[in-house]
Amino acid sequence: MTTTPSSTGTPALQLSNIEMHYGFVRALDGIDMHVNPGEVVALLGDNGAGKSTLLKVMSGAHKPSHGSIRVHGTEHSFSAPSDASSAGIQMVYQDLALVEPQDISTNLNMGQETLRRGPLGWLGFVDRKAMRRSSEAELDRLGVRTAPMTRPVEMLSGGQRQVVALARSAIRVNGESQGILLLDEPTAALGYEQTKNVEALIRRMADAGIAIVIVTHDLPLCYEVADRIVILNRGKKVADVPAATTDRDHVVGWITGSRASMFDAAPAR
Ligand SMILES: Nc1ncnc2c1ncn2[C@@H]1O[C@H](COP(=O)(O)OP(=O)(O)OP(=O)(O)O)[C@@H](O)[C@H]1O
């Protein structure tokens, strides 16, 4: 597992002093957070802690009221998810955003279709065989097993759908620069076996160099895949700790607020 910065020492994604207000509600209050290439960071917190808001800031869906975002060291200002996507950040939403009647290959290639050669390509005809071949190669590289490429997504199980959605994002971010994946509750509503498959895929994607942020309420998942745990409480970061050496009771204490923030100054004696 990678818990140290990349060879250049530059985080894949770095947020500094992020604030976000919804009217009078301060949903995020001075958040500093980073994720390194090849690292999995679990973002935890109770209901209303600010996790979704922070994920939306990272994915370009929300513009923060204050603060800066750097991707591989370059400062960005996202006005829309397409800006974040261009910077190599892909978000996998809980609803997965798959097109149910279309087959796996079509879903994997959505928005990046291969056109046929010659006049048919000029008319916008897609090359389904080439798309299937390249999708199979990409999935092999990620070590992903799914149903046959021609199977419509509506015929897949919940776990298989989650794998297709994750693989689609992994393929998109695995371009020239190392990508960043944001996952919103990736194992919610999955059974034991399906959860294990998704956990294994998340680890393989990280081992391929992708930086991953997971929002979850699932502590076992967090301990299974995360290198580091970041905990929010009422819009503030209260802990940023390595998963391997942090006691679960401490994590629960930070989530519920019964444990003081590790960033608060020690009380004067
Ligand atoms: N669109 C909105 N308008 C006003 N307030 C909002 C909006 N979205 C979130 N909030 C408020 O911002 C705070 C953080 O909410 P957020 O959804 O980010 O929390 P969360 O940690 O993702 O919670 P959950 O685990 O319940 O999804 C909460 O106080 C919430 O009520």
**pLDDT by residue (tens digit) across 132-184?**
788 888 777 777 777 788 888 888 888 788 888 888 877 777 654 479 999 98
**pLDDT by residue (tens digit) across 41-98?**
999 999 999 999 999 999 999 999 999 999 999 999 999 998 998 898 988 877 677 8
CA of 236 to the centre of ligand 1 (A): 13
CATH of 13-95+179-189+209-256, one of 3.40.50.300, 3.40.50.12590, 3.40.50.970, 3.40.50.2000: 3.40.50.300
Instruction: Respond yes or no on whether ipTM tops 0.90.
Output: yes
Per-residue tokens: 52: 């979704």
For the sheet containing 13-22, what is the strand order? 25-35, 13-22, 66-71, 74-76
Rounded to whole angstroms, the Cα distance separating 53 from 27 reads 7
- Asked whether 153 and 98 are in contact (CB, 8 A), the reply is yes
Domain ranges of the chain: 13-95+179-189+209-256
- Residue with CA at minimum distance from ligand 1 atom 5: 22
Reference 226, options 33, 35, 54, 50; nearest CA is: 35
What lines the ligand 1 site, CB under 6 Å?
22, 25, 27, 45, 47-53
pLDDT at 246: 95
pLDDT at 182: 94
- Residue with CA at minimum distance from ligand 1 atom 6: 22
Among 18, 21, 22, the mutation site with the greatest number of ligand 1 atoms within 8 A of its Cβ is: 22
Contacts of 175 (CB under 8 A, 6+ apart): 88
